[in-house]
Structure 1
């Protein structure tokens, strides 16, 4: 069992400035993703590796590794090789997992496509990176993937898969569906697997020379302020991040991790899958998409020892009407990440879900993703008020608008440097240069470091509200409002105001059966927080607008309030 590396001299700031450097006790791995899986399969061939409950799939590490070889051989037979881009557009299915490792084994670049994308977003992603192949589900919930794909590539209906040419997607040559939709230009996933199995019997696995520094994955960051950007990551980036995340959780081959977060996101494929592969822990996928009941049932029936999720997922699990009927006593650790964790939620997760060693992690797609993570032994107040301390082999500094490192405790922009920083944005040198300066990734997150090196994420630079000259941080106000016994969820953001520049607005989801007024909320704040931090606008809603990963979309709330308050003329001010 691997253990968390010892602290180096600068895991706590020195000389009173907000700069820390992670331990280097455990060397970085130079393994590729394919090698990582192979090594684990050789160490634990007969141990349980993968469970996809909705599909009825259960594999040992040996079986998992063999199926990856089959798909790798099948893809190679379709003239897909090192450097070619392969899109994956699917919810959590075993085909997603096999594609992740098969592409890595032959050196193809996996392009993660958000399952929530619609037609124009799909076309943008495929065209931006020049995908040569696409592996897709046929449908998920109301998203009919094949139908949307036909809008972009109508040639699929008339051309054979072996001679595919699409006018709007000139580089696309192969489309593989997890089912058999009966379309001439689409190959069933099973056929590719069968082709690969035959090749393995005759020729053995494809022989490809790869480097850990090769680009292997493109993940699109959210496009809330423009077109999505394709963060380009290497084997070395994400293999090592998965390793160190597993170490921080004290994960081992004896553990079983429940993964309800989406595979297309770093949370699922790195903090979930690669963390498990690095130590031989079992992966349990409750379903294609998140469902609180299915997640709780998976934990109980598979005796999971670890659980991942964003705060909204944990809230949904805690609020499930049959929560008390599920035995969660097997749980020990996991990760809560993706957005700021409400303190009250964290306390309930520890007390009611038996996650005494749950950790908080912080990072961004462009840094593979985790830069800070709490330890399983950190006191609860450290795990509720901070995102832990710096991960191994990384450096972080907090800077002011001029780029100067701020003093300990002062607020500034968090910048990360080290092995985890992406190669850049795919074919976008300008945005890459703007984001990575002298090796430092500028995250856009506002943060503080305390004297012991624990980091607190205050908010986003773009979310900071400037009211009458005062800098207000929504997360601070949210944390206070979460103490209200009637509030289940709250999000605070700014809207334009002619007099003060901006005013605070709070969207609130009340607990089931509760009632409150706007004035009740303001009364709760009066005399407890500064008057200028009390939201001027309060709106009660049934739910928050979320991304497919469960992240709250504050820009959607802001636009809705601007419309409701008739602030359209001030929107561009």
Structure 2
């Protein structure tokens, strides 16, 4: 079935081409969306093979660069051929069905080839990372996976190279390391030498007929219930969890493609690491819909904050759609104008990862008047849960403003209180979701899986509410809620007010320790370039606007305000709120 055409022709599909928003107001905080088209049991490479057949010479993945001469790309046909060779060699190396093989490589064309090869081997492809300190966390993850092998890039940074040499040095010398006892092989790519490793280039050389026969037999064992990826969570609340998805979950990306109007004619930009859920979206959509995924060296956007180069790349690559995280949007607002970048083709983009205030939306629309922005919501475990609609009528636009959108087909969403009871409509509570497309569980961790999934419902660990029209509103992550006195305070409502101040660019409200009230409110504020205000100015501004009190009789005006150059960031570009809270407590003298 041609999913794209079927979705458009379905008479029940209106706003998003995949689902019709409800017309009858909800009275309770529960919503179930039906499938506009039933999901299928096709595997990811069943769909990928169709892309290869219809567009063999089309670019599947582009690694763009500030310097056009450094641009890399791989076509669908080359990806298929190279992954066949790599998969056959892996099977020859002794990789068995449902073994775990780790992947530790940056954004490069070898990523999509390696992932497709591992799918064909019917293994657990595990995308791993580490914190760049001593590599102990990398060994921990490899042992949790019982990984039999790893495909890694030797990198360009001396620090990275030194750590991976220390982690794998003993194994490379003797082909065994008691600290990583299950590891049997290491495949290395990159220009730096890694003596003792199997060169990646050797593994992608044309295989024998015997190797192809073994590969065909292995591919025949793969079903929709076979694993397609293991992703690491960010680990912001402890050790990263290992999230297992199956081929069937790729159906969810077909609904994302339908709502986002992604087709094989699109060129989808994303700056995120391909080994992370947000970046991986582009790769999956390329493989099942036939789009071209365009990505970059991830340091350009987060560490270097080079939005100028990013917009040049989007223009040069003629990207039509993409993912633009909030940090990129904020950086874009600091530019005098974006007209010179010729972004005529770039008409639609997603943003996600944190709360998107109305004031940011309005400013972005002024900078990119010809593009439409959609706010999306999801998690590593559930993929995309909800999103706003692109081609919406004015009343729908207003209904979904400041929400995280309407659930995708095949989802159930409910808001519950502390006793797991569904709350009245519009009442904040715990966001819980259910879908056939959700993750299988945490790898080899039934206890942790059962803690997060009760009766089929996954706890998002977020607070929010559902509007009477069925739109989901995010108020705060559970870990961000501030307990002052006897009242739990969602920082988002305070941040919205402070963001209305004309000189404020960004704000995060955190809780800092208080001996009497447990926590007090502290607003961490970043001003627009060239602007200056004192902390007292911001507090006075809040006093004028926070006229109501909480149940404890206290104002929502923050007791402390700290003006900063910028917020500390996690590697994924999101604000590092744990570090920010520590910095705030120190600056407040606590």
- TM-score, normalised to structure 2, is 0.89
Counterparts of 1:220-299 in structure 2, within 5 Å, are 220-237=232-249, 239-270=250-281, 272-291=282-301, 292-299=307-314
Identify if the C-alpha distance between structure 1 residues 416 and 297 changes in structure 2 by more than 3 Å, giving closer, same or farther.
same
Correspondence 1:353 to 2:368: yes
Residue equivalent to 2:476: 459
Q: 2: distance between equivalents of 1:354 and 1:192?
A: 48
C-alpha distance 170-361 of structure 1, shift in aligned 2 (>3 A): same
Aligned counterparts of 1:211 and 1:202: Cα–Cα separation in 2: 21
Alignment of 1:102-141 (within 5 A): 102-114=117-129, 116-118=131-133, 119-141=135-157
Answer whether contact 2:130 2:138 (CA < 8 A) is retained.
no
Q: CA deviation at 1:222?
A: 2.7
Shift of 1:394: 1.1
Tell whether 2:318 aligns with 1:303: yes
What is the aligned partner in structure 2 of residue 499 from structure 1? 516
Q: 1:345 to 1:67 in 2, by over 3 A?
A: farther
2:97 aligned residue? 82
Look up the match of 1:548.
571
Task: Give me the whole-angstrom Cα distance separating, in 1, the residues matched to 2:216 and 2:136.
Answer: 35
Q: Displacement of 1:282 after TM fit?
A: 1.3
From 64, 68, 76, give the equivalent of 1:61.
76
Choose 146-155 or 397-406, whichever is displaced more.
146-155
Q: 1:200 to 1:476 in 2, by over 3 A?
A: farther
Q: Cα RMSD over matched residues?
A: 2.3
CA distance, structure 2, for counterparts of residue 142 and residue 200 of structure 1: 41
Deviation at 1:37, TM superposition (A): 1.2
Q: Taking structure 1 as reference, are residues 24 and 406 closer, same or farther at Cα in structure 2, changes over 3 Å only?
A: same
Structure 2 residue 55 is matched with structure 1 residue 41: no
* Cα distance in 1 between the residues matched to 2:561 and 2:573: 22
- What residue is the counterpart of 1:207 in the other structure? 217
Decide whether aligned partners of structure 1 residues 382 and 43 sit closer, same or farther in structure 2, where only a CA change above 3 A counts. Answer: farther
Name the CA shift for 1:125/1:294 in 2 (closer, same or farther; >3 Å).
farther
Instruction: Provide TM-score, normalisation by structure 1.
Output: 0.91
**Distance of aligned partners of 1:199 and 1:552 in 2 relative to their CA distance in 1, 3 Å threshold:** farther
Question: How far has the Cα of 1:201 moved from its partner?
Answer: 9.0
**Inter-partner Cα distance in structure 2 for 1:346 and 1:121:** 38
SS of residue matched to 1:462: helix
2:230–2:242 contact (8 Å) kept in structure 1:
yes
The C-alpha deviation readout for 1:193-232, integer Å capped at 9, x for no partner, is 12xx233697365432111112232222232332221111
Q: Once structures 1 and 2 are overlaid, which stretch shifts more, 169-178 or 432-441?
A: 169-178
Aligned length, in residue pairs: 557
Structure 1 residues 331, 473: CA separation in 2 closer, same or farther (over 3 Å shift)?
Answer: same
Q: CA separation in 2, counterparts of 1:230 and 1:35?
A: 26
- Alpha-carbon distance between aligned partners in 1 of 2:531 and 2:144, rounded to the nearest angstrom: 48
Q: Which moved more, 1:500-509 or 1:45-54?
A: 45-54
Shift of 1:340: 1.4
SS in structure 2 at match of 1:410: coil
In structure 1, what is the equivalent of residue 493 of structure 2?
Answer: 476
Task: Indicate whether 1:92 and 2:92 are aligned.
Answer: no
The 10-residue stretch of structure 1 (521-530 or 258-267) with the greater mean CA deviation from structure 2: 521-530
The separation in 2 between residues aligned to 1:192 and 1:490, in whole angstroms, is 49
- C-alpha distance in structure 1 between counterparts of 2:139 and 2:22, whole Å: 44
Describe the SS at the equivalent of 1:527: helix
Contact 2:29 2:466 in 1 (8 A): yes
- How has the CA–CA distance of structure 1 residues 63 and 351 changed in structure 2, closer, same or farther, with 3 Å as cutoff? farther
Match of 2:304 in 1: none
Kept after mapping to 1: 8 A contact 2:148/2:185: yes
Contact 1:152–1:168 (8 Å) recurs in 2: no
Maintained 8 Å contact 2:512/2:519: yes
Select 1:178's aligned residue among 189, 201, 216: 189
| Secondary structure of residue in 1 paired with 2:217 | coil
